[in-house]
A and B are shown apart, each in its own frame.
Chain A
């Protein structure tokens, strides 16, 4: 692998960049690997990467139906934070956030992790109580957060309206070390590092069946032929149900379209990420200058990657109210992705009823921020059979009622 640096760019500039080689190889699949990962999104690639890095398992193929990073890794609003309430969530998201901090250097690929800070606004009394509780929980979990005053919010975000007539800002949960990253680069960086370790990323290769022998996984059938493996990791987000069915089990997942949009680019006017849950909207400004805005999820299940326009209206209304200056910006593009939601809105990282077959899915609306932690835990689970990071996210929890529920506000005060 050719190392990336300012010097290598300068050297290449002298020969018109003719010497750059492929970021990742494009081999034809072999007949057998120790481990096959299905899904070359962020989570699948990170799983493979940490299998190699932490456990020395490099005889790995990562199979991708389309193009790598083309699912939710390339469709999200790039927010990275770990200010979760439940211990299990805080552990895996904080692991991810801390890995993000050094990921560019580790992968020798600039994923542009930008620890610019995330504020979650409190706009009702119950939100104030909820975030104070989270701040207490975070302190014990080793996650640095702080409940800040409306004035502090205003200082961090000069364009915010904290005294809106409808929902004045009452404070906010501030995580200074949270931020954003360049989503595509995360997938590309992991892909390049996996390829450099000798792993094989096979794009345009759809899994059509899962083969078993003596109750154990034996391999997969693909559009590029059968591939044998000892261990199989299914990391395919919205299509997990389809693969689980091939493996002979069912998943408690629903798939819905979640939308996002960006404005035209403008010069910097907002340095931090702001999430406003009462009015339903969140916004940050990308390095390119676009205001990146997250919207709502459709109330019905589908696979269209489009979504209903009224959600865009609701989101934009909320954000125009919160940031009045954006009224005269323009929406450049809206898009949708399919998020796989579990009953408790937390992920599944688990062994499955099929021995040797592991699954990582159910990240819902929060997957991007988890990628390194998810890969770390999943690799440990696949290599060793257990991982403290993934233990709470096993499939058993639905049978046992042992949920990891982050949707804290079930009701509001009388």
Chain B
């Protein structure tokens, strides 16, 4: 059985006890435990069920590579599925539940899949569930979906907060083991600013577990002193519980810090996403031990040898009392020795190598451990935990030589450097035949914009495994990285570690080497996704020969551990099946993040009201206080209408429109884009941007302008005012201001970089209020100030002066057909002017009006609206706006495009007005149908509705639309089928419905 022993346990605090529950059972652990070590201390060997076959599974690893021990953690708003027990630090009252079973972990109906596993090989679902067709949606898929998935879906809104953190540093070291710490020291000694990221709670890595001597001290004492030295260095920052999640182009490193996962009651954000820019990155990410592929290697109690050692030394947990160790290398002997010294019965070391190992084997033998060389595990037996091991010769097909009862198996298939971060941004790998692993190829690193490498590696991640090599190489790696960013390292001696010679590893990809199909179909490669040796062989046989095909066909390496344990074994199995060398098979692509990171952290603080910043005009809060119904426009909110108590929106809009037409209304037009274009070439520049001629505009005058893109399509419109000889103020649509500003800058910076023009976006510097209606002038005159008479300030003129004591620019422009003054004042004065207008306007019946009234009134006047009459496929000529296209100019953006045959075709749909024959409102977006069907069987269309409203002024539905040969077909009635089953009939009319002569605005 698995239990806590009285000795060892360097990371736990035995003086305090913590209680927690697993599947409702009360258990105890200590501060410093992981959930995994605490479960093992409570003899909880069975912790979960596998994805496909629902096989019983136990803890197999001790770190981020764990594929089996995933739990539903917490409850309610702090619930989280798929939490890895090996990286979850224990806290008091932790609640964990195992996953992927029904009705319980011990008795899982889904385990029938394991009985049927012969019928469910890799990719079986591509070959079946084909008939009857309707069954896929209604029967097969729902069943598959229900049995797939791992943890439960959270039900509640997350109660925690998250944040971003921005850091810039010279060098980032990923990994706080001995190699990472030594590179950090030598880089920092060279003068570099260094940031060390360590994913676990403890700096120092696994060297204290493995032992050894550095500079004459025990390794753990050396690390303690090194940590003290680093903490005292001002240019070194070390963060634990902070994983290097990904490396991206341009030295961008993503860090993922888990701040309160280990202490959920603590205040502050739960996770912090580090957005780091570094000049150099050193990955000292260590290595991961590989399992061995033998039958029954997935039973609870079969564990990586290094993990078993970790649980013993770090947490004082002895996973088994009678242990068998299977290995192809010397490192697993350390586990056997540690277990033996702690009092366990190590029954056998099965060393697949005929000649066994080096000095470590000698030591194990001296301790009295029986070592069988050239031996292998034929099969592990047991139901929900290990009971027996059949032993056979490695070079056999699995004929058992003997059977030994035991309660745990430690396995080691060698070590693979963690090359994930190196590979994220394009670092290439080398196959090391001797060590049987891929390691980073220093000659082909990820490169930066200058073509030089910006990532290097240290320690086991570099491919060094002897402590002496690691410390020497790591020391040098830090110096080199510092050199690469222009530092001049002073001479510091590298530490020297005593060597423990290790014998050469024997690559073992299958145990025994000639295992028969019965054994191969029980030898797991990918534990979580249930991919066995036989599955990879099947994929190869069926022609899924590329490693990517094999991966996708078998799901090898696609589980939540992303193949940390399975990839190399899988590749080797594929290579064997194909009869090719491993390096020619290659690896699948390593993608960020290194281990999964929370969506909460990626989203950061941006949620709810601050999901996206809300832009507010200076008058926003007045609108809010007066019950505006809002409409989102870009990042702004604009009042759609101001409904009074119990007033429907449509009634409120009608009231606002009538009031503007009969008295006076106020519109907050502050959101309109206001771009100042200034410089000796400003006029020339605007002549290119607008279809109109802007350079001839006189100071003091306004002109309505159209802007097209290079393809000739209308993208924005607005009124341009010339402020002085060299300055123009260009109004854009509210939603378009930022894009148009960017559009101008793009042309200025990439094409006309030698033109003397500056563009400044002054949208938020001004509040702008439209005072509109027959009583507008009277209202403004009451406030007093500048002369606003028709003689001094005619239509399409502007003037500067004072209104109600506030400095103002007044534009005589109208988008409603009424007498209209748009008054721009400094933003800080916007609310003052607005409230002054409301106060003074009472006697004239002033009312604010919203965007919908604005829209209806412009449609009554036949004015187009960007986004309604335009959709990115409409040119000004379609809209009858030829008058706004200069014939004199040699060029403007879009001119050439508009001359293309289809653009100049008489068959383009053109703008008209539409009136339903019965006065009702045409449905939005309806199409006018023509005769018959086109070649693809679709109804032929001949026009469409672009804007449609109920006009309170005309008391009937009005619409604008684009219609084939429309202007030539006045009076004709078109059919518009609605999606409501009705067919609407509308007559083609002039698009100007109201005050065709324009007398009302020109007074």
Contact = CB atoms under 8 A, between A and B. Distances in A.
B876 to A, nearest CB: 13
A362 to B, nearest CB: 15
B902 interface: yes
B248 A309 contact: yes
Contact of B591 (A110, A130, A319, A333): A333
Interface string B838-855: 000000000000010011
A411 B609 contact: no
Given A129-B868, A321-B607, A327-B598, A414 B851 contact: yes
B925 A110 contact: no
A335 B424 CA distance: 10
Interface stretch (B224-232, B299-307, B712-720, B988-996): B712-720
A82 to B, nearest CB: 12
B598 A317 contact: no
B785 interface: no
Given A9-B127, A267-B153, A391 B604 contact: no
Given A22-B543, A112-B136, A330-B82, A140 B938 contact: yes
Give the most central of A134, A182, A403: most B CB within 10 Å.
A403
A326 to B, nearest CB: 5
B711 interface: yes
A102 interface: yes
Interface string B697-738: 000000000000001111110000000000000000111100
B592 interface: yes
Interface string A97-120: 000011011001110111110000
B603 A316 contact: yes
Interface in A143-195: 146-147, 159, 164-167, 182, 184-185, 188-189
A80 B548 CA distance: 23
Nearest to B131: A105
Contacts of A401: 711-712, 897-898, 900-903
Interface in B129-174: 129-131, 133, 136-137, 141, 144-146, 148-158, 160
Contact of A328 (B593, B599, B858): B599
B107 interface: no
Given A16-B517, A289-B148, A411-B736, A136 B900 contact: no
A405 interface: yes
Contact of A329 (B81, B121, B521): B81
B588 to A, nearest CB: 11
Contacts of B925: 129-130, 132-137
A129 B924 contact: yes
A267 B977 contact: no
Interface string B809-840: 00000010000000000000000000000000
A399 B611 contact: no
B461 to A, nearest CB: 21
B281 to A, nearest CB: 15
B552 interface: yes
Contacts of A196: none
Nearest to A403: B873
Contacts of A185: 126
B939 A141 contact: yes
Contact of B542 (A20, A132, A412): A20
A384 interface: no
Interface stretch (B335-343, B357-365, B376-384, B626-634): B626-634
A287 B141 contact: yes
Give the most central of A287, A318, A391: most B CB within 10 Å.
A287
Given A331-B597, A410-B870, A16 B521 contact: yes
A129 B900 CA distance: 30
Given A116-B137, A313-B602, A413 B248 contact: no
B953 interface: no
Contacts of B555: 288
Given A287-B148, A317-B611, A334-B591, A409 B935 contact: no
Contacts of B154: 325-329
B534 interface: yes
Interface in B537-573: 538, 541-546, 548-549, 552-553, 555, 560, 562
Interface string A394-414: 000101111101011111111
Main secondary structure of the interface of B (DSSP, over half): loop
A75 to B, nearest CB: 10
Nearest to A85: B871
B81 A70 contact: no
B129 A165 contact: no
Contacts of B129: 110
A251 interface: no
A4 B854 CA distance: 64
A70 to B, nearest CB: 6
Interface stretch (B3-11, B657-665, B926-934): B926-934
Interface in B496-549: 517, 521, 534, 538, 541-546, 548-549
B596 A330 contact: yes
B974 to A, nearest CB: 13
A189 B544 CA distance: 12
Given A114-B141, A288-B148, A408 B872 contact: yes
Nearest to A269: B153
A3 to B, nearest CB: 9
A88 B941 CA distance: 13
Given A140-B977, A316-B602, A125 B929 contact: no
Contacts of A414: 633, 672, 733-734, 815, 851, 854-855, 858, 865-866
A401 B903 CA distance: 6
A61 to B, nearest CB: 17
A108 B129 CA distance: 10
Nearest to B605: A317
A385 to B, nearest CB: 15
Contacts of B939: 140-141
B606 interface: yes
A388 B144 CA distance: 39
A23 B541 CA distance: 9
A289 B923 contact: no
B79 interface: yes
A3 B711 CA distance: 52
A266 B562 contact: no
A136 B78 CA distance: 45
Contact of B979 (A69, A136, A268): A136
Give the most central of A4, A105, A126, A288: most B CB within 10 Å.
A288
A4 B124 CA distance: 9
21 contacts: A4-B126, A4-B128, A67-B546, A74-B552, A126-B867, A129-B868, A135-B979, A139-B977, A141-B939, A184-B552, A267-B153, A312-B602, A324-B158, A327-B154, A327-B600, A399-B900, A401-B901, A402-B901, A403-B873, A414-B734, A414-B858
Given A20-B541, A330-B597, 12 more contacts: A17-B121, A91-B938, A112-B141, A267-B153, A288-B149, A316-B599, A328-B79, A331-B596, A331-B602, A408-B871, A414-B672, A414-B734
**What are the 9 closest A-B residue pairs judged by CB atoms, nearest first?**
A133-B925, A289-B149, A412-B735, A330-B596, A401-B900, A269-B153, A4-B127, A388-B935, A67-B546
